[in-house]
Structure 1
Amino acid sequence: MQGYPTARAGQVVGLLGGSFDPPHSAHVHITKTALRRFGLDKLWWLVSPGNPLKANGPAPLAERVQASRAVMKHPKVEVTDLEARLGTRFTAQTLAALIDRYPGVRFVWLMGADNLGQFDQWQDWQWIMETVPIGVMARPGDRISARMSKAARVYRDAKLSGRSSQVLGQGEAPRWCFINMPMSDMSSTAIRARGEW
C-alpha cells in the first residue's frame, strides 16, 4: 500500500480531517493534546481536497500537505492526502474506505467543538456517530453551542466523561467524549485574511 500510512489491527488511530489552509500551531496543539488525552497509538492528518461545506476552494492540495508536514513533526503523527488517494469527498465515505482497508484498526474521529455544533449537517452523520468513537476538543467560544447541538442531544447516553477520555477508542460506537483544553484562537481564516498564506 505505497503512499498509505501503516497501522496494525488493535491499534487506536485518531483521524483529524481538515483543509489545513494553512496549517498552524493550533493544529499542532490539538494534535498533541488528542494523542495524550484520547490514548491514541497514532494520529493521521487527513488533508482534504476540499470542504463540501465551504464555498471557496482551498490552496492546492500538494502545497497544503507540504506545509502541514513542515509544521507537524511528531513520531506518532502522519500527514496524509488519503481522501484524494481514496477518491472520497465526505467523511462517511472516507471512514468506510479506511475501515475496509485497515481491518481491525480502531479509528477515532477527532473534531473541534465547532464541528459538533453543525455535525447534523454532515452527510450520514448518524452513521459516523454509530461507526467510530468521536473525540471532541473545545475551542474558543464553541463549548455551549456544541453541548446543546443536535448530535450531543441525540447521543447524550453515549457520552463518556472527560476523565474517561483515555479509553474512548477501546469501546464500540456510538461513544464520544468532550474534552476541555488550553485555548488557542489562532485560525486559518485569520491567517489568510492577514495575507500570510
Structure 2
Amino acid sequence: MRKVGLLGGTFDPPHLGHLFIAQEVQHRLGLDEVWFIPAHEAPHKVKSHTDADLRLEMVQAAIADNPIFRMNPIEVDRLGKSFTFDTIKLLQEMHPNTAFHFIIGADLVESLHTWHRIDDLVEMLTFVGVGRPGYELVTTYPVTYVDIPELEISSSMIRARVEQGAPVHYLITEAVFDIIKEQKLYAER
C-alpha cells in the first residue's frame, strides 16, 4: 500500500515553510509522495486574496523541482468551501490502495474537535501534526506528531512584506516570486 502525505491550504502564496514541512514529514514517515491540495475556499478561513488558478500555478512552480511532491487540484475543481471529509472520501475512492496522512499545523491540531465529521475522519486517515510557533500540539484525537524545526514563515507575512516593498527572497522560491512580480500580486491595495 502506498503512503501519501496530504498538505492542504490556501497557499496564498506557497512558501518555504510549506516545502520544509512536506519534506520533513515525507522523510520521517517514509511517505512515497506528498500531495499539495490547494483549497478553493477553506472552511476555516476568510476568502483568499488570490484567484485559485494563480494559487495552483504558484504551487506547481514551488514544487516543480521535487519529484516526490505533486499538486492535486481536487478541491479547486470542486469549487466552494472544501471540507476535508469530502476530499478524503473522494481521494480514497480514486486511490483505493493508498494510506493517506493528513499533515496539519499545531493550530489545526488544537481545533480538530471543530472539524466537520472528525470522528469519521480519524478512521479514514492518519493525522500528522507539526509544531507551529505559539501553539501546543494538544488534542484528544489520535495524531502522529513529527517534531521538526519551526520556521516562522506565513503566507500573511509574505503578503504584507510584498505590499510594503520588503524583500521576500529566502521565504519563497524564485519561481513563486516571479509569478508574484509578473501578476503584481499582493501589491499595495
TM-score (norm 1): 0.77
The 2-side partners of 1:51 and 1:86 are apart by 12
Verify: 1:115 aligned to 2:82, yes or no. Answer: no
Verify: 1:75 aligned to 2:67, yes or no. Answer: yes
1:54-95, Cα deviation, whole Å (9 max, x unpaired)? 123341111011111222231111022111235572100000
Larger CA deviation: 66-75 vs 82-91? 82-91
Q: Are the counterparts in 1 of residues 25 and 146 from structure 2 also a CA contact under 8 Å?
A: no
Verify: 1:48 aligned to 2:39, yes or no. Answer: yes
How does 1:87-98 map onto structure 2 within 5 Å?
89-98=82-91
| Cα root mean square deviation, aligned | 1.6
**Residue 162 of structure 1 corresponds to which residue in structure 2?**
none
Verify: 1:178 aligned to 2:145, yes or no. Answer: yes
Amino acid of the structure 2 residue aligned with 1:51: A
The 2-side partners of 1:17 and 1:33 are apart by 16
- Offset at 1:193? 2.0
What number of residue pairs does the alignment pair up?
162
Change (3 A) 1:90 1:83: same
TM-score (norm 2): 0.80
SS at 2:14 equivalent: coil
Q: % of aligned pairs identical?
A: 29
Q: Which runs of 4+ in 1 moved over 4 A?
A: none
- Offset at 1:113? 1.2
Gaps of 5+ in 1: 1-9, 159-175
